[in-house]
Amino acid sequence: MKIIAVANQKGGVGKTTTTLSLSAALAEKGVRVLLVDVDPQGNASSALGASGEKGSLYHALIGEKPAAEMVYSTRIENLWTIPATLDLAGAEVEVARMEGHLTQLRRVLSPLKDLGLYDYLFLDCPPSLGILMSNALSAADEILVPIQCEYYALEGLGLLMQVTEQIRASGANPDLSLCGLLMTMYDGRTNLNPAVVKEVRNHFQEVVFDTLIPRTVRFAEAPSHGRTIIEHDPAGQGAEAYRALAGEFLERQKKGVAFVSGATAHHS
């Protein structure tokens, strides 16, 4: 089981949409996915209909219950979730007091790896650089970073890469690598969006996924219906884009390609 953190401390870049849609698109292909909601807002949890009544990530993080007991099956075949509830906001303080507080989430998720029930575990990270995000980066094998197609998008990326570097250097997770950068909310009718994509590609080259996620109102509609885009508008351009991303993601994983600070690293 490989752990992928979907992270960007900038809000509104399509992070939860990406975690949900990519997970659903992979599940549709028969890949077994566990989505762990690390964001106290719990948007991914509510979209999957997991209310957290038997417990949530919070209870696993503070050591009350094992993570395996917090796994909920969803209505989507091959997709499971560990939900987040508002309690998780309090975990920032409680986890900070623990010994080895940076690696608490990794310890909590470690037994799930041994079960062999899932191919990938996706972490939907909160839009901040606090304890929860640091824990997610310490627990992950790779980071997938959604970036909105606008000029300010790259500002936050530098900060995230800096934190990633610190996590590596601290010894909390020396092997953490970059799965790829994903350009979201793309509108080819504007001059700005293609220009931003070109600039990001020039700068980061093959780190950037070929798939562009389009700007469509369907993404905003889907959560209000409590659905992923794959269910809400299965034949629409948004769903098709995430299916394409799922194919590209699996291709990269098969080849064992990951990136360290923009340089390519091959994992066997």
Instruction: Please spell the DSSP secondary structure of 184-237, one letter per residue.
Output: EEE-TTSSHHHHHHHHHHHHHGGGEEEEEEEP-HHHHHHHHTT--HHHHSTTSH
Around Cβ 175, how many Cβ atoms within 10 Å?
A: 12
- Longest alpha-carbon distance in the chain: 52
Q: Spell out the domain ranges in the chain.
A: 2-266
**pLDDT at residue 136 is higher than 70:** yes
CA pair distance 164, 168, nearest whole angstrom: 6
pLDDT of residue 268: 39
What's the N-to-C CA distance of the chain in angstroms?
14
**pLDDT at residue 267 is higher than 70:** no
Instruction: Please spell the DSSP secondary structure of 98-129, one letter per residue.
Output: STTGGGHHHHHHHHHHHHT--SEEEEE--SSS
Q: Quickly name the fold that domain 2-266 has.
A: Rossmann fold (3.40.50)
**pLDDT at residue 262 is higher than 70:** no
Q: What is the mean pLDDT of residues 35-59?
A: 92
